[in-house]
A and B are shown apart, each in its own frame.
Chain A
Amino acid sequence: MASSVLRPDTLTLKPWDLLLSLLLHGTVVLFLLLGRGCIEDDQPLFDPDEIMQVQMVALPKARGRNPDRATRAPSPPPPAPVPEAAMPSPEPFAEPHPSNSETRPEEPPPKADSRDRRADVLRQLRRSELIKDIQAPLGDVDRSATDPNSTLSPEEAFAGLGTGAPMDPDLARYQSQIRRIVLPNWTPLPRIIQDNPDLFTIVEVTLDADGKIEKTRMARPSGNTSYDESCIRAVQKSGRLPLPPPKFQNLASRGIWIHFPASDAR
């Protein structure tokens, strides 16, 4: 039975088959037309010809150099040979410092979390990652775009972050400029970051035609007041930000969302 159905000479087109096909094709055409109308309103995000990959890195601070006065101390003179002597008497010591008794004033606060070795090691690893990040030269890989563990939101996907898709080079350049200005003003308490590495805040900022910050708004609070406040202050303290590239200015007129992730894992 099945083999006869699949033979071409046995295939027959019934009228309602044709009708159903026409109906579905018509629906597809209709959706294509509507869909086209729907996305025409938005600015194109990427020009494929311009695509390049970049890595956002913080530039290391310049190190202060003291005058280089090489005055390497000469090696100590060799001591005169002395016959093996009897063991010397104990040598002078000052008294060890008395240990300080520690108490808490009234209203004792909750004791800080005790951290085990593992936490310290993890912190060291995070730190070494940060160090590597800071020291990395301006490379050719968009770290956020190539992060296999990236779990960024649809909004970030929209901007080309963390999607695996390369970021628009103008947007990448703009992000780097914003980062250079805002990051030095951002001083969240390390303890908060350490205890809550998943904190994530979005601050919306509106710029005037000169780049002066007109308005800041907490678009997405993290739930930690101190952390959120540090993000808002970082933007406000910046005072002025560069204007976005022309092709993004229409989008930016509705507001620029600045993301503040507590860790690179976000």
Chain B
Amino acid sequence: MKSVRIGAGLGFYGDSWRPVRASIESGGVKYIASDHLAELTLAILQKDRQKDPNAGYARDCVPMLIELWPLAAGRGVKFVMNAGGLNPHGAREAVARAFREKGYKATIAVITGDSISDRIDDLQVRGETLAHMDTGADIGSVRERLLFANAYLGAAPIAEALAQGADIVITGRVADAALSLGPIMHELNWRWDDWEKLAQGLTVGHLLECSGQASGGNFGSAGEWAKVQNFLHLGYPIAEVSEDGSALLTKAPGTGGRVSFDTLRQQLLYEVHNPHAYFSPDVVLDMGTLHFDDKGDDRVRITGAGGAKRPDTLKVVAGYHDGWMGLGQIGFSWPDAYLKCETSANIIKGLIEERGWALDDINIEYMGYNALLGANADASQRDSLNECFLRMTVRTKDKRIAEGFSRLFPWLGLSGPPYAGGLRGSERSRELLGLWPTLVRREAIEPGVAIDVEAVA
């Protein structure tokens, strides 16, 4: 039976591609599906583009391909990556420049048409409300502050780019799982209305889109996480998808980590809302009938995904300017570590009040006590900590206040409570972005999708 092997690439902008080597060299993969865009990554890329119009893509795709392409090319391994971000052509230009310097050859496709930021008025005229998907709010409230707006495209343009001979496909925003579903559709020639097979393909793509999280990384548990072997050489997940839709999840031989029923079901439900209706541009997946058969030795067979017809709309996420954040931090050792942090927080609040600074929000966290656990921290430990760090953040419309906030902290070193360290008192302000998820009919977006294939030599 015909099948295709796909290996996970990155799981976010900044992730490591070191484990991808093993998937290429000994994992038998034909494709690497690399996800560079978390939900907030476009916000980061937007800031890059504001500084430099040639930027706005995930820059890590260049060194990644420079290192991996020599291994991949000889084996016929292809890359599908959403590293294009807000500037897919810019990403290809950067890769092409680097390839020419090295003498590498490749056919590189660019997929565009996901960005709708310059079409907002046009879409509204055509009857798209662009109302907030969850709250129903009118987009008028953020219209003037919009910085980007991108639709999640599906697998079809990726499959088409591969059919046109691309070795490397660079996209902007696509559904993360489409990075795998595209090659699956290209290789296995399933019909685009075979919902159950598409649902299996979507399941595979979803399992691969967060790199090490499907193979033992971030295995959320007490005690059990420590059984995961050899984090240092953790292998990224690999899926072998067969023509009949069944899939085998595994990883390259000899690598660390673990692929099991436990590690895979954690990833399956990760960042999913209703598991009986997991929407993608290509199919709606029902996870309630999935069957994971753990064969041992890091091999899990997956069957049974439920599929329903693809939605008539595509999800769009827009980002808008939403003020500035200022951050300050100072730590204290025993004795009375927490009390000294609390005292410092009160001093800082007093300084803000004296200055009459207008803040929209203030956030006070005690690292070492409740910065991650919040109200679920064990209060009985509070007054006997070895050390504790005060972290304060503020949100304000005024950039100067955000910038000045951090500079309130150094003074505490000589004129506050004793035994301080870990000062962060000269932090830059950070622009905050709100996200605006909405739905747009696919006919309003898909005619604008373009595939541009070019040989780099």
- A and B pair up: no
